[in-house]
Amino acid sequence: MSAHPVWTVESVRRALTEKKISARELTDEFFRRIGNRNPELNAYLALSPERAYAQADRIDRQIARGAPLPLLAGVPVAIKDVISTAGIVTTCGSRILQNYLPPYDATAVTRLEQAGAILLGKTNCDEFAMGSSNENSAYGPVRNPVAPDRVPGGSSGGSAAAVAAGLAVIALGTDTGGSIRQPGALCGIPALMPTYGRVSRYGLIAFASSLDRIGPFGHTVADVATALAVLAGEDPNDSTCAKTPVPDYTAELNTPVQKMRLGIPKEYLGAGIDPAVRQRVEEAIQQLEKLGCTIVNISLPHTDYAIATYYLVATAEASSNLARYDGVRFGFRAPGETLTEMYRRTRGQGFGPEVKRRIMLGTYALSAGYYEAYYLRAQKVRSLIARDFAEAFRQVDLIVTPTSPVPAFRLGERTSDPLQMYLSDIYTVTGSLAGIPGISVPCGTTPEGLPVGLQILGPHFEEARVLRLAHAFEQAGGFAG
């Protein structure tokens, strides 16, 4: 991919403690890489050099003193632009927040920096995280570093591309229907969606509140596990964040996976999957069997209803969350004679086509006379989808599927038909609706060299188990394909 060495959390720590490089020099190197590569990729929307160098110098002083270094000391990180960063422009990929300066940091950002991470900047994404290709950003699409004529996936496309191109070691994304896992798959890197409520969302600009989650991208499963260890845990500022104790995710990584029971849902390898993707995933399943896992064929019978359910629930919640963008308190304002005219023009001009489409659909699904037929019905079917998983996890420890039915597609190839774009989220929206954790790990490439992702889903709060299998698979050479 590039002549640069691939920095990981582990190699950064070693280089810093052995004084092969200073945190400041490392930061310089990453800004240099970004300067070289970002004009083409458009992965970063804003850089935060002042904040990065202040933190780098702090880490260098700790090293000089011989002080113990925190988990992510000196690790360069990127933050998806839907996550608030105090004093650094946070646009959500939208014109409506073009100059928005958050007055505070998201808890996830605070935790990364407290763990010593160096915040390089904010990454591009689909507007308000709505999209599967990163083509819905008001600031232009992101290109896939593996194949620059193709999309990186979305909505966290900038974060995935930044890590894959070596422009960050860890990046934060958000996942509502697949927005971490799918770009992870399309860019060929590990990408974790934690359990709903595992990571605080204080400071995350909301899209769909019953679905949104923050999670990390990294070069290795171990890096993702370390990032989760830093991010996870209760937060008095987010009442939806669980108080469930946080296990030591990295300590359990090397526990053997022998005798693990892995469910393969028949609904995930059926019609609509690219043959090369299917082949890589079937090979991955064989490899997991060689590692001593037991493969169990299972069924998740309501899978076929997941896209319809997801696009009703998510758009309904989005339509109410996005009501706050009215040109009064922050962001873009279009002039109007009356208050209502100002609202309507601000929102009409400030939001892009996909966001308006989803607000329209969600408003319709919640409106008088349609609420029961659409929103309430979808919430009931959501119960059935969650129940499918609960029942499956009585028979198996984890579930293994493809992450995306297709590898990275060409820019512009799928923008004309929104429903077709929605349908490509089929393997990821189910886990989102059920609130369970899932990771995408690379499992080789198509004959054209495009990455394929393997999705591993686990029961609520069983990230350690998910990471363990992902790590074992990676160590066994899942990476190489």
- Active-site residues: which are they? 80, 155, 179
162 CB contacts (<8 Å, ≥6 apart)? 41, 43, 44, 78, 123, 168, 171
> What tokens were used for 219?
């070069």
**Cβ closer to another protein: 215 or 451?**
215
Q: Whole-number minimum distance, CB 92 to another protein, in Å?
A: 13
| CB 310, CB 78: distance < 8 Å | no
- The helix, strand and coil proportions of the chain, stated in percent and rounded to the nearest 5, come to 45, 15, 45
Whole-angstrom distance, CA of residue 186 vs CA of residue 151: 8
Minimum Å gap between C-beta 261 and another protein is 21
Closer to another protein by CB, 178 or 478: give it: 178
Given the complex with another protein, which of 32 and 324 has the nearer CB atom? 324
Amino acid symbol at 11:
S
Tell me which amino acid residue 132 is.
Answer: S
**CB of 307: closest distance to another protein in angstroms?**
8
As a whole number of angstroms, the distance between CA 437 and CA 194 comes to: 5
DSSP code at position 150: B
Closest CB to another protein among residues 130, 185: 130
Nearer to another protein, 18 or 337 (CB): 337
Chain position carrying tokens 């077709």: 420
Element (H, E) at 281: helix 275-290
Give the integer Cα–Cα distance in Å for 124 and 251: 33
CB of 237 to another protein, least distance (A): 9
CB 263 within 8 A of CB 389: no
Nearer to another protein, 186 or 241 (CB): 241
User: From CA 34, how far away is CA 416, in angstroms rounded?
Assistant: 31
Q: At its nearest, how many Å lie between another protein and the CB of residue 472?
A: 27
Beta strands in 327-450 (DSSP E): 398-402, 438-445
CB of 309 to another protein, least distance (A): 7
Under 8 Å between Cβ of 32 and 18: no
